[in-house]
Amino acid sequence: MQAEQENIWASAESHSHAPNTSNQEQASTQENVVGLGKEEVKKALKPSGLDKLRIEGGAVLKGEIPISGAKNAALKIMCATLLTDQPVTLTNMPVTLNDIKTLAQLLKHIGVSVLARHDKTAVLHARTIETPVAPYDLVRKMRGSILVLGPLLARHGFAEVSLPGGCAIGARPVDFHIKGLEAMGAKILIEDGYIKATTEGGLKGATYTFPKVSHTGTENLMMAATLAKGTTILKNAAREPEVTNLADCLRQMGANITGDGTDTITIEGVESLHGATHAVMPDRIETATWMIGAALTNGSLRLKNANLDHLTALVAPLEKTGVQIEADGNDILVSRSGEKLIGTDIMTDPYPGFPTDIQAQFLTMLTLCEGAGMVTETIFENRFMHVPELCRMGADITIQGNSAIVRGVEKLKGAEVMATDLRASASLVLAALVAEGTTTINRIYHLDRGYEDIVGKLGNVGAKIERV
């Protein structure tokens, strides 16, 4: 309970720009950034602000950027803490991201005590499950909330989770999550926009083959299976490093999982899980975004605490365009020699293929390459929303079906543009860094969901960027 009293998220609720806090408030925010009372749930539901980013183009990015812990690993690992009544300590947590704060709100609502510190450590303790419900207002803010379904059902035998609905990049159904849990013996009703799931006598191990590779589907079922009776085999499973990072955490908690990182994952259910300490992996999408930033601006960056092994699908086409990339221990060095970049083609695919979450940023780079490049999106049906905005900045892009043909132009020009989703927003930031003149990016709450301290990190390596 001590931890709860120390929780003071209210003063750290705003986004990565520093609010005007008194010295006393600043001192207290040093300790915890995620305070999670009922009042904060209300605050979390308020619009995230209408901040804009103003970027003056033309800077060459040079220096070091520390890479944050991966949002897409941290979210799932936070949900995994629902599987035990003991505390779980997580390090390298991207504690200031809005998606992370939203999930912390949801976990608090469920009954988890949550403490997060500025040293990027979080302690989550699901001593009891008080309210096994994920309400619409929190799920609509963050689709990843669907990942409480598997753990709640496995531990508590009952869960009600709002259906996430579609989002800007596509319909994004969750039918595989539901069918997989049904295969494990869950009874599931869809009623009033909610998934209402129960089990009689607990989940049972089963074999489930995903009709199509699903990243979060794999994670939801893998978590559920840790406490099921018997063996679960997930076939055509996602192979993303985030799945392995989650499996590592679950193993630390006592789960029996093998095969993660391949397309067949086997989980032997155990009686109960226990507390653990686990480090969140580096964010490979943030890493990729700044690698492309170095390439685009003719710069040279050292990306600290990153993992190049997770980015082989990006390294090959980046090197083909003319970028130099090198691993140095836990750092990645990226530079461009000054030569013009050459256009090349990419196609998104489940890991280890080219990540859909890097498609928009790569496309931005192609706008200034010599020749042309084609970007084909195979994961989501509506993921070219950054294209009209880039065209307003002078890019030459034609969309044909699920491909975009990008013909290199001499320069981009600053404009007022609109961020539409998380990665599209990152692509506009990259475009603004090289565009002639000033670009104002509206609706940057998308960026605050997934990029920690973007103004500070880019400002430190030479970008002229401010939040207005």
CA-based nearest residue to 429, from 69, 79, 133, 52? 52
**What span, in angstroms and rounded, lies between the C-alpha atoms of 314 and 449?**
23
C-alpha span between 273 and 151 (Å, rounded): 11
For the CA atoms of 466, 357, 291, 353, the dihedral, rounded to the nearest 10 degrees, stands at 180
Residues paired with 114 in a beta bridge? 124
Q: How far is the CB of 28 from ligand UD1 (least distance, A)?
A: 31
How many residues lie near ligand UD1 (CB under 6 A)? 19
Q: Is the dihedral of CA 379, 382, 388, 389 positive or negative?
A: negative
Catalytic residue (choose from 167, 249, 369, 391)? 167
> Exactly one of 109, 120, 215, 336 binds ligand UD1 (CB under 6 A); which one?
215
> Which residue do the tokens 């803490």 mark?
81
Strand order in the sheet with 372-376: 346-347, 372-376, 403-407, 396-400
Applying CB under 6 A, which of residues 177, 278, 449, 457 lies at the interface with ligand UD1? 177
Q: Does 216 bind ligand UD1 (CB under 6 A)?
A: yes
Residues 347, 348, 354, 360, Cα dihedral to 10°: 90
Rounded to a whole number of angstroms, the distance between the first and last alpha carbons of the chain is: 38
245/364 with CB nearer ligand UD1:
245
344 makes contact with ligand UD1 (CB under 6 A): no
Pick the closest to residue 150 from 140, 158, 162, 138 (CA basis): 158
What distances in angstroms separate CA 379 from CA 12, 40, 72, 214, 382, one per listed residue?
Answer: 35, 35, 17, 10, 9
Stretch that binds ligand UD1, among 31-39, 60-68, 168-176, 412-420 (CB under 6 A): 168-176
- Site for ligand UD1 (CB under 6 A): which residue of 67, 115, 152, 379? 379
Q: CA of 422: how far to CAs of 126, 243, 302, 407, 411, in Å?
A: 30, 21, 24, 24, 24
Mark the segment that binds ligand UD1 (CB under 6 A) among 124-132, 173-181, 182-190, 249-257: 173-181
Choosing from 97, 134, 174, 315, the residue that interacts with ligand UD1 (CB under 6 A) is 174
**Nearest C-alpha neighbor of 146 from the set 239, 221, 244, 220:** 220
176 binds ligand UD1 (CB under 6 A): yes
Nearer to ligand UD1, 102 or 113 (CB): 102
Task: Tell me whether residue 174 or residue 434 sits nearer to ligand UD1 (CB atom).
Answer: 174
Active site residue 167: yes
**Residues 64, 130, 175, 370: which binds ligand UD1 (CB under 6 A)?**
175
Nearer to ligand UD1, 31 or 349 (CB): 349
25: which DSSP letter?
H
Q: Using alpha carbons, select from 219, 216, 311 the residue that is nearest to residue 265.
A: 219
- In the bound state with ligand UD1, the residue whose beta carbon lies nearer, of 217 and 343, is 217
Tell me if 101 contacts ligand UD1 by CB under 6 A. no
List 7, 162, 214, 335, residue binding ligand UD1 (CB under 6 A)? 214
- 356 is a site residue for ligand UD1 (CB under 6 A): yes
Q: How far is the CB of 222 from ligand UD1 (least distance, A)?
A: 13
Part of the chain binding ligand UD1 (CB under 6 A), chosen from 56-64, 165-173, 385-393, 436-444: 165-173
- 388 Cβ contact partners less than 8 Å away, ≥ 6 residues apart: none
29 binding ligand UD1? (CB under 6 A): no
Q: Which of 22, 46, 201, 212 binds ligand UD1 (CB under 6 A)?
A: 212
Which residues lie near ligand UD1 (CB under 6 A)? Answer: 72, 75, 144, 170, 172-177, 212, 214-217, 356-357, 379-380
The residues annotated with a catalytic role in the active site are 167
